Amino acid sequence: MATAAAVQEETTAHRFAKDHLKAFVERVERLEEEKKALSDDIRDVYSEAKANGFDVKALRTVVRLRKQDADERKEQEAILETYLQALGIQSTEFRKNWVPAFAGTNGRKVSASSPAGARRSLRWAENSPPRRQSGRSAFPHRDRR
């Protein structure tokens, strides 16, 4: 009689563990589906921003910076400042000449033929590395012909 009760108790415990494990797996699967849906929604928002003329890379940077603590952001800026100084680049010159693509456009789509786009293209061309005489740039990984 004692063995039948022990077997019944073990079966009940086994069934409970099985149901508990199944519940965990189903919760994780449901959360994965929600995560995929949220990821798709975020991608759609970035696509919409791009369609409205915003630079998605700069927008992602803004979102990343807003997530950071102010002290953490200051620390990263100090590190960037140190690296720029080590390379002989003045940070004010760097920030003035390499602005995000949407700066000064007030959210309008800008092409190289518009005044703002032409200024940006000219600013980039003025700050580009000099070309070698062979016609190849000083940065071969950028030569994609």
Our CA dihedral for 41, 44, 45, 47, rounded to 10 degrees, sits at 160
> Residue 79 and residue 123: Cα distance in Å, rounded?
25
Confidence of residue 23 (pLDDT cuts 50, 70, 90): very high
State residue 131 phi and psi, 5-degree precision.
Answer: -85, 145
* Beta strand spans in the chain (E): none
Predicted TM-score (pTM) of this structure:
0.49
Average pLDDT over residues 68-85: 91
The pLDDT of residue 15 is 86
Q: Which of residues 44 and 4 earns the better pLDDT score?
A: 44
Amino acid letter, 80: L
Q: What is the pLDDT of residue 106?
A: 44
Contact 142, 129 (CB under 8 A): no
Q: Where does the pLDDT of residue 117 fall: very low under 50, low under 70, confident under 90, or very high at 90 and above?
A: low
